[in-house]
């Protein structure tokens, strides 16, 4: 009887995977079917405590975490991959080293994978403002940077692609000031109602905790814009909820960027104004640190994207492993209001849907998934490499 009631609690999509595994791919697929392109995002937790540490691990080619991340990528085989928490290397060696020493070598007999094109730009993490942003009486430290970080470039981002990137058309918004967003949710002191940040702080504080990137990819005759960010988690603050409010507005940035008539205020790091061209195809990708129902994000944060009329949110990536793990702790399971099958991150305080790969409405989704194998499935041991899971989506591209 207990087993029967356990099955009743499993969402139909996952139950179908369990009963008919030959008909539905749940944890991983091999390659995108002909005529489609697979996009994936993975917060691989490859950040290191000091500058140059990741570069050393990449050079020696023996790091077990890097091998595990590479194996996951070789199993899922995305055509376009966004890695997050991959420390920025100003010299530009890191991407090539990861491709050559890890992705380009078979991991436990899985086929190597090649990405001829890459982009890795600077981010705001670890970039000191010289101001006391967290009001702890000191003007230095990770929390006083434009984005939390022990050194410039910690928790960076990397794009890898089998298709050419339109490098001259890449737009970055690292320097966009939070105060320049109309009706920004800048924090206030809940006791006094005064602004939490001083006027001097508001004049310099940037919106992006890492950066916002618009990276166009040329896929045959079509351009697809990768809209990438990694907002602040809505925790690690006080009653002013400065991180939760920033998370909301970092996500709102993309909702405005794709909306004609709402993006005139936006300027990029080259000084060009405006948002995405009307009708352009895009994939919004990132560890957005916002669950639709659970967690501590400001109410309605991720709905700015999920409910946007130009976003195709018709398919929710799911996994057996997420559902299985949710049942291990009955207290956390009871406290979760959302469908655990859609979770993408495993935290001590409960699992959440934090990671997204959302196409534009003018792209058709043919399949999607989360690499989160169940305890008895092949690849389960790889989950230790990160507290996040790789999320992928297959879409049809015109002319393929």
pLDDT digits (tens, 9 = 90+) for 299-339: 999 999 999 999 999 999 999 999 998 866 656 656 788 99
Spatial CA neighbour of 400 closest among 219, 216, 161: 219
For residue 96, give the nearest of 74, 81, 116 by alpha carbon: 116
To the question of pTM greater than 0.95 for the whole model, the response is no
Q: How far is CA 70 from CA 38, 44, 63, 198, 236, in A?
A: 16, 10, 11, 44, 31
184/34: higher pLDDT:
184
Extract the tokens encoding 334.
Answer: 């009871």
- Can you tell me which residue has the tokens 């946007």? 308
| pLDDT averaged over every residue in the chain | 91
Residue with tokens 């791919």: 25
Between residues 5 and 309, the one the model is more confident about:
309
pLDDT at 295: 92
Q: Contact at 8 Å (CB) between 141 and 71? A: no
Number of H-type helices and E-type strands within the chain: 10, 11
Residues forming beta bridges with residue 251, ordered by sequence position: none
Q: What is the CA radius of gyration of the chain?
A: 21
**Is the pLDDT score of 398 beyond 90?**
no
Question: Considering only CA atoms, which of 361, 338, 210, 356 is closest in space to residue 280?
Answer: 361
| Helix (H) / strand (E) containing 282 | strand 281-287
What is residue 19's predicted lDDT score, i.e. its pLDDT? 43
252 — phi, psi (to 5°)? Answer: -60, -30
| Segment 353-374, tens digit of pLDDT | 999 999 999 999 999 999 999 9
Residue 10, pLDDT > 50, answer no
Cα-based distances in Å from 337 to 9, 325, 326, 333, 350: 13, 15, 12, 8, 11
Whether the CB-CB separation of 83 and 399 falls below 8 Å is answered with no
Average pLDDT (120-146) is: 96
Pairing of strands 222-228, 281-287: parallel
pLDDT of residue 399: 63
Mean pLDDT lowest among 16-30, 89-103, 127-141, 359-373: 16-30
Do 298 and 234 form a contact (C-beta atoms < 8 A)?
yes
The predicted-structure confidence for 220-261, as pLDDT tens digits, reads as follows 999 999 999 999 999 999 999 999 999 999 999 999 999 999
Q: What is the pLDDT of residue 25?
A: 42
Q: Is 318 helix (H, G, I), strand (E, B) or coil?
A: coil
pLDDT for residue 4:
30
Please name the helix (run of DSSP H) or strand (run of DSSP E) that holds residue 356, with its range, or none: strand 355-359
Q: Indicate if the pLDDT at residue 7 is higher than 50.
A: no
Judge contact between 92 and 120, C-beta under 8 A. Answer: yes
Residue 245 Cα distances to 291, 338, 354, angstroms: 14, 22, 16
Domains and CATH numbers, the chain: 2-396 (3.60.10.10)
Least Cα distance to 70 among 109, 37, 34 occurs for 109
Q: Which single residue is written with the structure tokens 């996951």?
A: 72
- Check residue 350 and give its pLDDT: 79
Using a 10 angstrom Cβ sphere, with 0-12 exposed, 13-18 middle and 19 or more buried, the burial of residue 326 is buried
Q: How many CB atoms lie within 10 A of CB 34?
A: 6
pLDDT at 31: 79
Please report the pLDDT score of residue 349 as a whole number. 67
Provide the β-strand partners of residue 308. Answer: none
- Residue 388, exposed/middle/buried by CB under 10 A (0-12, 13-18, 19+)? buried
Q: Give dist(CA 267, CA 184) in Å, integer.
A: 15
According to DSSP, the β-strands at 157-161 and 213-219 are unpaired
- The pLDDT value recorded for residue 348 is 73
């Amino acid at each position: 009887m207990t087993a029967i009631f356990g099955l009743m609690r499993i969402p139909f999509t996952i139950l179908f995977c369990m009963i008919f595994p030959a008909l539905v791919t749940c944890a991983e697929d091999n390659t995108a079917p002909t005529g489609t392109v697979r996009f994936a995002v993975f917060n691989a937790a490859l950040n290191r405590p000091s500058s140059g540490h990741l570069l050393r691990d990449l050079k020696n080619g023996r790091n077990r975490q890097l091998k595990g991340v590479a194996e996951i990528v070789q199993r899922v085989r995305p055509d376009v991959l966004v890695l997050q928490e991959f420390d920025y290397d100003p010299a530009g060696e890191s991407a090539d080293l990861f491709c050559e020493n890890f992705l380009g070598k078979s991991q436990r007999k899985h086929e190597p994978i090649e990405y001829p094109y890459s982009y890795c730009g600077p981010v705001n993490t670890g970039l000191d403002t010289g101001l006391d942003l967290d009001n702890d009486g000191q003007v230095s430290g990770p929390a006083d940077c434009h984005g939390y970080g022990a050194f410039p470039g910690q928790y960076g981002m990397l794009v890898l692609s089998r298709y050419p990137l339109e490098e001259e058309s890449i737009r970055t918004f690292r320097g966009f000031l939070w105060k320049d967003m109309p009706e920004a949710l800048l924090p206030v002191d809940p006791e006094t109602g005064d602004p939490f940040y001083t006027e001097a702080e508001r004049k310099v504080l940037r919106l992006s905790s890492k950066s916002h990137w618009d990276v166009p990819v040329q896929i045959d005759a079509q351009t697809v814009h990768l809209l990438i960010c990694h907002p602040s988690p809505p925790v690690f603050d006080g009653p002013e909820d400065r991180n939760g409010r920033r998370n909301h507005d970092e996500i709102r940035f993309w909702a405005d960027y794709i909306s004609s008539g709402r993006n005139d205020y936006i300027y990029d790091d080259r000084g060009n104004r405006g948002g995405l061209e009307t009708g352009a195809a895009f994939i919004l990708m990132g560890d957005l640190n916002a669950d639709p129902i659970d967690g501590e994000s400001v109410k309605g944060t991720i709905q700015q994207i999920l409910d946007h009329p130009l976003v195709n949110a018709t398919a929710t990536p799911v996994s057996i492993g997420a559902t299985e793990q949710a049942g291990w702790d009955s207290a956390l399971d009871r406290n979760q209001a959302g469908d655990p099958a859609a979770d993408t991150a495993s935290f001590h305080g409960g699992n959440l849907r934090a990671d997204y790969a959302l196409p534009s409405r003018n792209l058709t989704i043919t399949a999607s998934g989360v690499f989160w194998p169940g305890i008895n499935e092949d690849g389960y041991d790889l989950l230790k490499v990160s507290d996040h899971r790789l999320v992928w989506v297959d879409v049809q591209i015109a002319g393929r």
